[in-house]
Amino acid sequence: VYVCVCVCGFFFCVCVCVVIFYLFIYLFIYLFIYLFIYLFIYLFIYLFIYLFIYLFIYLFIYLFIYLFIYLFIYLFIYLFIYLFIYLFIYLFIYLFIYLFIYLFIYLFIYLFIYLFIYLFIYLFIYLFIYLFIYLFIY
């Protein structure tokens, strides 16, 4: 009975040691190799590929192309052409032609008709009446 207990105890201790050793080796291999190395390599490769290729290259190219197309074509060409045409039309047609015609007609009408005709007639009549009547009568 004593031998049977010793043999069973020995096998139990061996089984416990084997199970503990197996669990230690398994957990060590699983935790260290799988979790650390695999996940580190996976996350490193994934994050490297994702961050570098997707975020850097894709977003850089996307933002570069988008900003280039948007800023250069839209802001530069569109606004330049728009502002150029708008300012050209506004400055040339409105300021030059409208103000030129307006000022020309206004100055022509005002200066010619008012100053020349009115003042000429007024001064002529006034001077004529004044000089003729006053000087002649006096």
Give the model confidence (pLDDT) of 64-105 as tens digits: 888 888 888 888 888 888 888 888 888 888 888 888 888 888
pLDDT digits (tens, 9 = 90+) for 27-63: 787 778 888 888 888 888 888 888 888 888 888 888 8
Residue identified by tokens 């290729």 is 53
Locate 120 and state its tokens.
């000429």
User: What was the pLDDT predicted at 43?
Assistant: 84
Token pair, residue 105, equals: 């007609």
Distance CA 43, CA 40 (A): 5
Give the N- to C-terminal CA distance of the chain in Å, as an integer: 175
Of the pLDDT bands very low, low, confident and very high (cuts 50, 70, 90), residue 1 is low
pTM: 0.28
